[in-house]
């Protein structure tokens, strides 16, 4: 009989990469079972999508109730109150003490595309600045903004123009905030007149790029530069949002607010929904009909998102993220005593990562990170790597993970790191 992997290889483009060969059968909170009945602890959460766990009962209930009423009308044709109410909630909950408006779309990349469209319409300018190591999606603009070539930009031809990259400040890799800001100013002198720049976009904590938090001084300096030159600041919170960093949004760790914010992933706890929220006058710049999409703000995703926001608040998931993250980081610090490959343990709340170097060369070791990942998978723990050099393991378990399952996962993690050293 042909294996499922063979069928997958024959039927699906290899361009859709897969990090495991586990075919999901069912999932509950932080656990997934495959077709053979093997059980896995999920430290990937569908790449930061189920912060509230798989099949949270309140989200399932909200979705079922919505399915029983209507599943799609297209908000641009026959609107519904739940869309309006979710926009009101996000306008209130997102950082920034000013009037805001929101639109709903379907994916993170689409949110980024729309944020750029809105920024260009509002400023009448073209250029966009992003950062090395940043990730903003796989559509053309998302890809152009992304600061990592392999695999995201290989073979896809000319990127949209007027996109520039500056280095992201990572002390561990020898780039200070001052150097990063100096490089941005050099960009203004050498490549693009700041008067032509519509927006600067960044992730408050780089996700795919390696879980590097933007230092507070950096965010402040960016805000100042934006204000000085009439540039909009876009925070891409697609991966950092919804309690992951110990706050509802990672920008709440900063004392400055963005003009526009993109959200997706955990917004709807497993249903495809994304949003752009920003200053009301900026959000209103595009003409009617310029924004939207057939499925944008699908009622099922909207119903799920209302339940997600309720669960985050009622179950105090921001506090829980802090507790889980500090337990994880403490355990990693203890493992580090015996594993000199670990060169850094970091991340706010429960958006944590561990970075590995080769002990002999002291260079980034993707090989070591991958060994840890594969050994953990064999032991029943799903981990994800990230980083421009692929030498980082990022932890994205549901914030609702049960204490005993979490303790079990930490034991597997330790055993896997030690086994990778052998």
Length of the chain: 422
Say whether residue 245 binds ligand PLP (CB under 6 A): no
Q: Determine if 207 is a binding residue for ligand PLP (CB under 6 A).
A: yes
Closest distance to ligand PLP from the beta carbon of 402 (Å): 26
Q: What angle do CA 332, 337, 341 make, to 5 degrees?
A: 75
Which residue carries 């955990």 as its tokens? 266
The neighbouring-strand residues paired with 165 are 130
343 alpha-carbon distance from chain centroid: 23
Q: Which residues of 112-124 are buried (b: 16+ CB within 10 A; e: fewer)?
A: bbbbbbbbbbbbe
Q: Which stretch binds ligand PLP (CB under 6 A): 62-70, 104-112, 335-343, 388-396?
A: 104-112
Nearer to ligand PLP, 45 or 381 (CB): 45
CB 137 within 8 A of CB 143: yes
**Sheet with strand 342-346: strands edge to edge:** 342-346, 352-356, 392-395, 384-386
By CB under 6 A, tell whether 238 contacts ligand PLP: yes
Q: Exposed, middle or buried, 233 (CB in 10 Å: 0-12/13-18/19+)?
A: buried
Minimum Å gap between C-beta 365 and ligand PLP is 23
Is 41 near ligand PLP (CB under 6 A)? no
CB nearer ligand PLP, residue 236 or residue 344: 236
- Which residue lies nearer to ligand PLP by CB, 95 or 108? 108
The verdict on 264 binding ligand PLP (CB under 6 A) reads yes
CB distance 416 to 376 below 8 Å:
yes
Cα gap 369→376, rounded to integer Å: 11
Q: Which is nearer to ligand PLP, 109 or 324 (CB)?
A: 109
Cβ atoms of residues 384 and 17 within 8 Å = no
d(CA 356, CA 340): 8
Q: Which is nearer to ligand PLP, 201 or 377 (CB)?
A: 201
Structure tokens at 92: 């209130």
In whole angstroms, how far apart are CA 321 and each of 56, 186, 361, 368? 17, 39, 35, 27
Regarding 135 and contact with ligand PLP (CB under 6 A), the answer is yes
**What gap in Å lies between CA 201 and CA 193, rounded to an integer?**
17
The pairing of strands 24-28 and 342-346 is unpaired
**247 vs 371 by CB, closer to ligand PLP:** 247
Instruction: Indicate if the alpha-carbon torsion angle 111, 113, 118, 119 is positive or negative.
Output: positive
Counting residues that bind ligand PLP (by CB under 6 A) gives 15
Annotate 156-173 with DSSP letters as a single string. --PPPSSEEEEPPPBGGG
Smallest separation, CB 152 to ligand PLP (Å): 10
| Contact criterion met (CB below 8 Å) for 205 and 348 | yes
Looking at the Cβ atoms of 137 and 194, the one nearer to ligand PLP is: 137
Dihedral (Cα; 351, 206, 102, 350), 10-degree rounding: 0
d(CA 6, CA 67): 35
Q: Rule CB under 6 A: is residue 259 a binding residue for ligand PLP?
A: no
For residue 288, CA distances in Å to 104, 139, 283, 294 come to 14, 23, 11, 15
Q: Does 239 bind ligand PLP (CB under 6 A)?
A: yes
Q: Print the binding letters for residues 309-348 with ligand PLP: x by CB under 6 A, - otherwise.
A: ----------------------------------------
Q: Which one-letter DSSP state was computed for residue 287?
A: P
Shortest approach of ligand PLP to residue 23 CB, angstroms? 21
- Among 100, 101, 136, 247, which residue sits at the site for ligand PLP (rule: CB under 6 A)? 136
Segment interacting with ligand PLP, rule: CB under 6 A, options 185-193, 232-240, 243-251, 293-301: 232-240
When asked if residue 236 is in the footprint of ligand PLP (CB under 6 A), the reply is: yes
Which residue minimizes CB distance to ligand PLP? Answer: 108
* 53 near ligand PLP, rule: CB under 6 A: no
**Residue 109 interacts with ligand PLP (CB under 6 A): yes or no:** yes
Q: Of the candidates 203, 259, 322, 355, which one interacts with ligand PLP according to CB under 6 A?
A: 203
Binding-site member from 95, 96, 132, 137 for ligand PLP (CB under 6 A)? 137
How near is the Cβ of 136 to ligand PLP at its closest, in Å? Answer: 5
In the complex, the smallest distance separating the C-beta of residue 73 from ligand PLP, rounded to whole angstroms, is: 23
301 near ligand PLP, judged by CB under 6 A: no
- Cβ proximity to ligand PLP: between 47 and 381 the closer is 47
Which member of 51, 52, 82, 107 binds ligand PLP (CB under 6 A)?
107
Binding residues vs ligand PLP (CB under 6 A): 47, 107-109, 112, 135-137, 203, 207-208, 236, 238-239, 264
């Amino acid at each position: 009989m042909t294996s499922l992997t063979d069928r997958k290889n024959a039927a699906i483009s290899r361009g859709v990469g897969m990090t495991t060969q586990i075919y999901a059968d069912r999932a509950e909170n932080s656990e997934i079972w495959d077709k053979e009945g093997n059980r896995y602890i999920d430290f990937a959460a569908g790449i930061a999508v189920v912060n509230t766990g798989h099949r949270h009962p309140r989200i399932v209930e909200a979705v079922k109730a919505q399915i029983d009423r209507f599943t799609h009308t297209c908000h641009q044709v026959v609107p519904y109150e739940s869309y309006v109410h979710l926009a009101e909630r996000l306008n209130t909950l997102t950082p920034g003490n000013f009037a805001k408006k929101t639109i709903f779309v379907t994916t993170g990349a689409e949110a980024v595309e729309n944020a750029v469209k809105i920024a260009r319409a509002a400023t009448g300018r073209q250029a966009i600045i992003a950062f090395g190591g940043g990730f903003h999606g796989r559509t053309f603009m998302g890809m152009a903004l992304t600061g990592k070539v392999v695999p995201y930009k290989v073979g896809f031809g000319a990127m949209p123009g007027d996109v520039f990259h500056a280095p992201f400040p990572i002390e561990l890799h020898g780039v200070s905030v001052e150097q990063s800001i100096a490089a941005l100013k050099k960009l203004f002198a050498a490549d693009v007149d700041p008067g032509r720049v519509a927006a600067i976009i960044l992730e408050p904590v780089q996700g795919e790029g390696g879980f590097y938090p933007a230092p507070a001084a950096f965010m402040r300096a960016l805000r100042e530069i934006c204000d000085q030159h009439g540039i909009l600041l876009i925070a891409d919170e697609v991966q950092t949002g919804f309690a992951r960093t110990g706050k509802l949004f990672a920008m709440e760790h900063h004392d400055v607010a963005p003009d526009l914010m993109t959200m997706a992933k955990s917004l709807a706890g497993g249903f495809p929904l994304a949003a752009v929220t920003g200053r009301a006058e900026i959000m209103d710049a595009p003409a009617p009909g310029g924004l939207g999409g057939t499925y944008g703000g699908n009622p099922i995703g909207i119903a799920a998102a209302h339940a997600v926001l309720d669960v985050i608040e009622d179950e105090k998931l921001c506090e829980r993220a802090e507790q889980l993250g500090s337990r994880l980081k403490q355990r990693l610090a203890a493992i580090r005593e015996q594993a000199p490959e670990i060169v850094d343990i970091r991340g706010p709340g429960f958006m944590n990562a561990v970075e590995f170097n080769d002990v002999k060369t002291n260079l980034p070791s993707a090989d070591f990170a991958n060994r840890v990942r594969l050994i953990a998978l064999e032991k029943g723990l799903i981990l994800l790597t990230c980083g421009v050099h692929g030498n980082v393991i990022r932890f994205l378990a549901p914030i609702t993970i049960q204490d005993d399952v979490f303790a079990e996962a930490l034991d597997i993690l330790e055993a896997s790191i030690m086994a990778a050293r052998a």
